[in-house]
Amino acid sequence: MSRSRLLIAMLLLVCIVAAMHISALVFSLYWRYIWFDMPTHFLGGVFISLLLLWTCYFSGYVRYTVTPSTRAIFLCMVIGTLLVGIGWEVFERAMGLTWSAKGYWLDTSLDLLMDTLGGITGFIFCAKSARRTLMNNPSSKQ
The whole domain housing 106 covers 3-136
Helices (H), the chain: 3-26, 29-32, 37-53, 70-94, 104-136
CB 26 within 8 A of CB 56: no
Closest CA to 73 of 136, 20, 126: 126
In the prediction, which pLDDT does 140 show?
A: 52
- Given a cut of 60, whether residue 138 has pLDDT beyond it is no
Is 110 a domain residue? yes
**Count of Cβ atoms closer than 10 Å to residue 95 Cβ:** 8
Is 30 a domain residue? yes
The rounded distance, in Å, linking the Cα atoms of 133 and 72 is: 20
> How many domains are contained in the chain?
1
Share above pLDDT 90 across residues of the chain, in percent, rounded to a whole number: 62
Is 141 a domain residue? no
In the prediction, which pLDDT does 35 show?
A: 92
Is 142 a domain residue? no
Section 21-33 average pLDDT:
94
In the prediction, which pLDDT does 108 show?
A: 92
**Count of Cβ atoms closer than 10 Å to residue 74 Cβ:** 18
Is 60 a domain residue? yes
Pick 13 or 142 by higher pLDDT.
13
- The answer, as to whether pTM is greater than 0.75, is yes
Section 79-107 average pLDDT:
87
In the prediction, which pLDDT does 3 show?
A: 84
Please state, in angstroms and as integers, the Cα–Cα distance from residue 106 to each residue in 72, 79, 140, following that order: 30, 20, 46
Is 120 a domain residue? yes
